[in-house]
Amino acid sequence: MEEYNSLRWVRLEEVGVEFSYIKSVVKDAYEYPIKENTIQEFRENIKSYIDIDECKLLNLLEDETYKKASIFSIKQYKKNKDKVPIIEDVTNDTFNVLFKEKNDINFTDGEYYNGKLDDCFKIIYYSKEDEFVTIKMACVISEDGSETLEDGTTEEYDVELYDCCKFIIDINNRLVMMFHNDIKSNIISISKQVTIKKTAFRTLFSITTKNIIKYVLNGYLEKYFNEYMKEQRAGNLRKLVSIIEASAVDNDNQEKSLIRSVKRDYVHSKKRLDAIEDAMENEKLTISEIECSLDDVIIDLQMKGDISCINSFLYKEVVENVSKEFFNGYKLS
């Protein structure tokens, strides 16, 4: 992985990792105060910090610098009801050995792969605990780039893009959390990037889309909205909500309906809020999106299991705040 260090730094800069965060990670992990003022300066001088292994530092930095998460529910096989996909592979010792062999996991649990990457996602980290399994994957995508020069001619060149993602498997609750970022690709759309990651994960376990489906969040969003409305009526708001959306649950036989309120100053019209409540009661709409501020971090939650961090990253403390506010304090590995 050392040969991809430069690409990995570029990826961190593109997703907007602040240098102050890098400095704090270096201080915690290596006890070095950083004298440089930018990522570029630090990269140029990193060898002067003798104890820092650049590749290991990048592993630490990538671990929490994701802006997006998707939650999936694991569904039991219909024909073989004695086995649960994914869970069986990681908890059954025999299957776990076969799983590692099949997916070329020839490095120790808790250690990182340090070899070649190509445009197919490869497992670079695997760790199994009692309740959770963590799998990290990465790839390097090659694309053609071009630039128009001052004389009007076009110069073509090769572009390499590093992409990585993290999956956490909750064994007891049969859930999978996928953490990821968008990459600046010229040919792969953002929606396709997500599809590629999901497909790569399913391929690891030889399962289909029927075995792992989006975990629907509307029940949690409705609960949060109802609490917000109680605070609203009491004139004692503690929740800062910038987007509220209600829509019909997907159904081919149901007419699509949607009502939405967007207020970046967090002050929503009483009439619009009443309309949302009325639509929930009389038109069978459900809360399909909420965007809110939690300790100055803006979080957007979608009914279909997608969570986005708008102005920061899904750091440990951010995930804990989201869990406390929406998921009854659920503990993630």
Q: What is the mean pLDDT of residues 168-183?
A: 97
Token output for 304: 């279909």
Model confidence at 252, pLDDT cuts 50, 70, 90, reads: low
Answer positive or negative: Cα dihedral of 210, 215, 216, 219: positive
Q: Would you state the pLDDT for residue 82?
A: 73
Task: Determine the Cα–Cα distance for residues 143 and 160; give it in Å rounded to an integer.
Answer: 6
Residues near 229 by Cβ (< 8 Å), separated by ≥ 6? Answer: 273, 277
Residue 55 confidence (pLDDT): 96
Q: What token pair was written down for 122?
A: 């490869």
Confidence class of residue 37 from pLDDT cuts 50, 70 and 90?
very high
Please determine, for residue 254, whether its predicted confidence score (pLDDT) is greater than 80: no
Other C-beta atoms closer than 10 Å to the C-beta of 9 total: 21
Residue 62 predicted with pLDDT over 70: yes
pLDDT at 76: 86
Question: What percentage of the chain reaches a pLDDT higher than 90?
Answer: 85
Provide the pLDDT for residue 122.
97
Instruction: Please state the length of the chain.
Output: 333
**240-247 and 286-294 beta bridge pairing:** antiparallel
| Orientation of helix 218-234 relative to helix 316-326, angle to 10° | 70
d(CA 275, CA 172): 39
Comparing 158 with 32, the larger pLDDT belongs to 32
Q: At what angle do helices 218-234 and 270-282 cross, to 10 degrees?
A: 140
Confidence of residue 33 (pLDDT cuts 50, 70, 90): very high
User: What's phi and psi for 203, nearest 5 deg?
Assistant: -65, -35
Checking if the pLDDT of 133 tops 90, the result is yes
Mean pLDDT (whole number) for 164-175: 97
Query: What average pLDDT does range 1-14 have in this prediction?
Result: 92
Query: Which residue is it, tokens 């994957």?
Result: 137
Percent of the chain residues topping a pLDDT of 70: 93
Q: Are 137 and 164 in contact (CB under 8 A)?
A: yes
Rounded average pLDDT over 47-55: 96
Q: How confident is the model at residue 132 (pLDDT cuts 50, 70, 90)?
A: very high
Instruction: Name the CA radius of gyration of the chain, rounded.
Output: 22
Position 299 pLDDT exceeds 80: yes
pLDDT at 148 (0 to 100): 66
pLDDT of residue 149: 67
Report how far apart, in Å, the C-alpha atoms of 199 and of each of 66, 67, 122 are: 19, 20, 12
Nearest to 24 by CA among 46, 57, 47: 57
User: Would the pLDDT of 11 be above 90?
Assistant: yes
Q: Would you place residue 78 in the very low, low, confident or very high pLDDT band (cuts 50, 70, 90)?
A: confident
Predicted model pTM: 0.93
